[in-house]
Structure 1
Amino acid sequence: MSFAAPEQSAATASADQNGFDHWWTLPGDWVEEPNERRNGWSGVIRVMTEHGLVYVKRQRNHLYRSLRHPLGWPTASREWYFLLKLRTLGIAAPAPVFHAVRHTPDGIEAVLVTAALENYQPLNELEALPADQRAIVAETLGEMLGRLHRERLQHSCLYDKHVMVRLHRDAPPEVALLDLEKMRRRLTPTLAARHDLAQLRRRQRLFGDDDWARLLACHGRSFTKR
């Protein structure tokens, strides 16, 4: 296996030079070192540009296959597609910056660049949150997931580390979703909701029974809203 390995140091780069080669060779710090999956490899670096902090996903032959994509669809392309979809729904996620795919003698290479979510914390780092704020976070998350599932969209990897929260002193919290690489459209909204809610319930430690009941109540109202 070979890959374009960035220098292991912080770097500043210009996002104006936004061609494939620029993002493929840009030095930065690994946040997810390249590892072999799906008969290919994928890795993510973090780099500061003049426009802010971005995450650059690079991959080769890291493909998702389905009846619709029997020859394979780069998982970075799949994630880009759903990032754009969530923007149309008003659901917060990292802002898409750049995406491209190229065919080389070594296979299919893809790059995905997204802006960092500023001042957000993952759900799994909020265990010290006071009860009143925890309840509001549960309600906000439930409402957002209801809108997601109403569109038959299933996150498919809904762990607490993939739910990001930005707290405000005098305003409701904001909630965003990370890691859309496995997002998919289900046959019905109920199938999407059932999978994600069961997965989140198992994978989170912030919400107790009362908070979870609040989350489900807000999800239900948003899920059935027309």
Structure 2
Amino acid sequence: MSDFIAAEDRPILERHGLANFDALWALQLEAVDEPNTERGGWSSVYRLELDGAAYYLKRQSNHLTRTLRHPFGEPTFACEFRNIRRYADLGIPALQAAFFAERKLPGEQRAVLLTRALDGWQDLEHWLQGWASLSTSRREAILAACGGLVRRLHDAGQVHGCFYPKHIFLREQGDDFAAQLIDLEKTRPLLFGERDRVRDLEPLLRRAAVWNEAEVRQLLVAYLGDSADVERWHERLGARRRRKGAR
């Protein structure tokens, strides 16, 4: 995969001498959290601000995922970058990449992924923490935004694979909310129809435990486009949630 630089971000990166892998790899920044070392290598995230534009710079070394196509492993950021581009091509709202590149060294695979910061957006977890204090209209708008986002994803033939409240970002727009997704590493094609849809959607409902039954149905109406099949979906999702909770 060749190096990628988004056209709209190239000028600012070039002004700061950061339009290449080596410069972004060597840049001295403070990590925003502890490095991820689960896959035998490491992966870290940093915040980068340039002339009023904010980014998140992700760097990793030997932090690999193994698939049939890449049995010896490839950087997890390579997979995430492909999915970022796929979402953009399919019109699914999601985070945007400014730069991506990877390098193979003796005994080491490195990758850099620069994404635009979602300043002005809040993840769904934030809204769930204050759910009881929200007005009915704001709750309904959030449910509609989340349901509509999942519908766009599944209608485009994709499964997110990690549908948690921390991966849905929301921003108020008048009386409505816009919604988009992050953490696209586990995205795959939707191959098994309703079964895939249920498996993708259920983790969101399990983690949004503050939603009552009526609110879950509101989300399903937004997801399905009408109320005709809501009860069957509600039962099927509830059955899966009970099975998962009993484990």
Q: TM-score band (shorter)?
A: 0.7 to 0.9
Aligned to 1:15: 13
CA contact (8 A) 2:141 2:175 kept: no
- Cα distance change, pair 136–153 in 1 and its aligned pair in 2 (3 A): same
- Aligned-pair identity (%): 35
- Cα distance change, pair 206–83 in 1 and its aligned pair in 2 (3 A): farther
Equivalents in 1 of 2:195, 2:101: separation in Å? 32
Aligned to 1:4: none
Q: Which has the larger radius of gyration?
A: 2
TM-score by length of 1: 0.85
Equivalenced residues, count: 208
CA contact (8 A) 2:33 2:44 kept: yes
Matches within 5 A, 1:41-56: 41-50=42-51, 52-56=53-57
CA contact (8 A) 2:154 2:190 kept: no
Equivalents in 1 of 2:52, 2:81: separation in Å? 20
Distance apart, 1:82 and its partner CA = 0.9
Q: Deviations over 1:9-63 (max 9, x none)?
A: xxxxx62221011111222231232231222211111111226110011111111
Moved over 2 A (4+): 188-192, 205-208
CA RMSD of aligned residues (A): 1.8
Distance apart, 1:102 and its partner CA = 0.3
| Residue number among 168, 180, 183 corresponding to 1:163 in the alignment | 168
- Cα distance change, pair 182–85 in 1 and its aligned pair in 2 (3 A): same
Equivalents in 1 of 2:30, 2:50: separation in Å? 13
Aligned to 2:64: 63
Matches within 5 A, 1:133-148: 133-148=138-153
Equivalents in 2 of 1:125, 1:186: separation in Å? 29
Aligned to 1:121: 122
Equivalents in 1 of 2:138, 2:171: separation in Å? 12
Aligned to 1:200: 204
> Where does structure 1 lack aligned partners over 5 or more consecutive residues?
1-13
Distance apart, 1:75 and its partner CA = 0.8
Equivalents in 2 of 1:103, 1:189: separation in Å? 38
> Where does structure 2 lack aligned partners over 5 or more consecutive residues?
1-11, 227-247
Greater percentage in strand: 1
CA contact (8 A) 1:166 1:173 kept: yes
Equivalents in 2 of 1:106, 1:130: separation in Å? 55
Aligned to 2:232: none
Q: Deviations over 1:159-198 (max 9, x none)?
A: 1111110012x24210011111222224234243112211
